[in-house]
Structure 1
């Protein structure tokens, strides 16, 4: 299956959220700026698009919105996976998760490491034999650091902004408050008076909502969609879908798309996927409709609501842009 769309300019998506595919937007000279897996992307206050990957020749690639490379750095993250931007009263920081190293790093925008969070056994939160393979972070309104141990022991751990351990919630299992691949975490600020924590439970095809101190509230079930992290932009929730359930309803390789939810958490568009359908208030199975993408690992949304897609296991392709139309 070809990782690239059939042609630039194809229009995909549904309803009010339709997009023109720009397949060559982020393409660079692979001999100078190689990528392996393009994992995640964020946009800073200057409008720069910062991407993390697991190629140690340049873990971080920084683009402008035209797709021009502005900067690159990072050689120390062999599993470079999660990337979160924290704007602390005008000063911006990055949080990089490396599940291969089992560490979370806080850096400045130039890559200087300012804080390292290591295996939770060092603070009594885990037993030494427990796996710690962090995949994502989110920063709460008070600076609390939430770490999703998505490839490890399936807990979300809370640390103070100084890196002091607070507590953890979740754990592995099929109960409402538990996770099966807690791949992503984000602070949902759409209800300004009541911010909450959204955690991906990817094998459950779900986002699970918690209070800021880790009490389970509800589940957003997205049948068929193995979603990655939730990305909030104004009143809308976006997510890359890494796989969908195609043949025999199994997790199917090369079956990714993007899903978009409104402020009421109703799916309104699936670029690259089937049109969302509700019957008696229940969302029906969503799967890939066109083989435009392989595994959509993350999305970044700019100020014009264009979408930039980072893909995992996609023949070393660079990010793809979906221009809002």
Structure 2
């Protein structure tokens, strides 16, 4: 591993090998009285899914979870999930729901998970809301750690840093969304040199964010990839150029969306909750979780940013071209925190604050 000196760009490289080996854990029905939903079909139009609620269930005494935050699929079609239980931050499933491996014992705020292939090997980028972003191999060997932005001159020491997500650019640049902290996106080279801050912090202006919770690279227009950045409390995604210039806002009324996920020509996102009222971050009198708890669903947009399906939610409705407010329809989900799409177009949904539920599979029909 290349050794990099500690200076203004400042990051810490480590090589802590995880101790967990490969093992298989039998499935365990957390609540045997819970009805099976394998005949339940949710969604709209061409994007309809059969619910397999027990797909990812494991024995919680051996492989516990608190919040199943995010999931990605690697080049071997394995499904890799990150959570915030330090018995096993990372779970690796095959597509049948069998556990192949688990590791990670120190990411107390394990939250964001992105996968990047350098042309030879897959790597993971884990955001820990305790204040770091870690690059690892698939078996948990740490290669890079980026800590508080004051170490490289981007923040003051007292500024909060609670990163929630990363995205990796076409040239390997690393973009970190400080979604629970100071509401900027921080851009680095692939070697960890700080480049710039993107956005103008917390607020309601077009280049500001209300919970910059997620980020991805939108490659659907191959000649001009862009950044899609979540502004969750604004019920929107905001599009920027790769060097940080604001382009547009995609408004999704009522939907408190998590990170955007691109698959083929569509955009997918977990909706953490939905609300009948608008919300400005910091105004607890109108906090949506007080009026609409556990009200998540999944939303799917086409290449033209039009919502085409809301599995678990109300059917998308446009009135004179304007998208109407979207809400939970079926009580399948609590707080959808992320969605992963496999090569058969099935979805895997991770949930936050959902009674320690394991990932759910939605089989495309």
Give TM class, smaller chain: over 0.9
Deviation per CA, 1:26-56: give whole Å up to 9, x if none: 0001100000000000000000000000000
1:183 pairs with 2:226 = no
Shift of 1:6: 6.3
Listed as ranges, the gaps of 5+ residues in structure 1 are: none
Match of residue 297, structure 1, among 337, 340, 363:
337
| Residue pair 2:204, 2:210 contacting (<8 A) in 1 also | yes
Look up the match of 2:146. 117
Match of residue 229, structure 2, among 170, 178, 199:
199
Look up the match of 1:283. 323
Shift of 1:248: 8.9
Tell me which structure has the larger Cα radius of gyration: 2
1:158 pairs with 2:187 = yes
The whole-number CA distance in structure 1 between the counterparts of 2:114 and 2:35 is 28
Match of residue 216, structure 1, among 240, 246, 263:
246
Is the alpha carbon distance of 1:198 and 1:79 closer, same or farther for their aligned partners in structure 2, counting shifts above 3 Å? same
1:311 pairs with 2:351 = yes
Match of residue 307, structure 2, among 267, 279, 289:
267
Q: Say what the alpha-carbon RMSD is for the aligned residues.
A: 1.3
| Residue pair 2:114, 2:165 contacting (<8 A) in 1 also | yes
Name the structure with the higher strand share.
1
Q: Partner of 2:82: helix, strand, or coil?
A: strand
Look up the match of 1:11. 41
Look up the match of 2:257. 227
Look up the match of 2:18. none
The whole-number CA distance in structure 2 between the counterparts of 1:30 and 1:73 is 15
Look up the match of 2:176. 147
Match of residue 56, structure 1, among 65, 78, 86:
86
1:72 pairs with 2:112 = no
Listed as ranges, the gaps of 5+ residues in structure 2 are: 1-30, 280-285
The whole-number CA distance in structure 2 between the counterparts of 1:104 and 1:110 is 17
| Residue pair 2:298, 2:336 contacting (<8 A) in 1 also | yes
Look up the match of 1:86. 116
The whole-number CA distance in structure 1 between the counterparts of 2:238 and 2:336 is 20
The whole-number CA distance in structure 2 between the counterparts of 1:90 and 1:10 is 40
The whole-number CA distance in structure 2 between the counterparts of 1:32 and 1:246 is 40
| Residue pair 1:84, 1:138 contacting (<8 A) in 2 also | yes
| Residue pair 1:6, 1:292 contacting (<8 A) in 2 also | no
The whole-number CA distance in structure 1 between the counterparts of 2:361 and 2:266 is 18
Runs of 4 or more off by more than 2 Å in structure 1?
4-8, 246-250
Is the alpha carbon distance of 1:5 and 1:136 closer, same or farther for their aligned partners in structure 2, counting shifts above 3 Å? farther
The whole-number CA distance in structure 2 between the counterparts of 1:267 and 1:289 is 16
* TM-score, normalised via structure 1 length: 0.97
Look up the match of 2:19. none
The whole-number CA distance in structure 1 between the counterparts of 2:238 and 2:278 is 26
The whole-number CA distance in structure 2 between the counterparts of 1:129 and 1:248 is 31
Shift of 1:290: 1.0
* TM-score, normalised via structure 2 length: 0.87
1:131 pairs with 2:171 = no
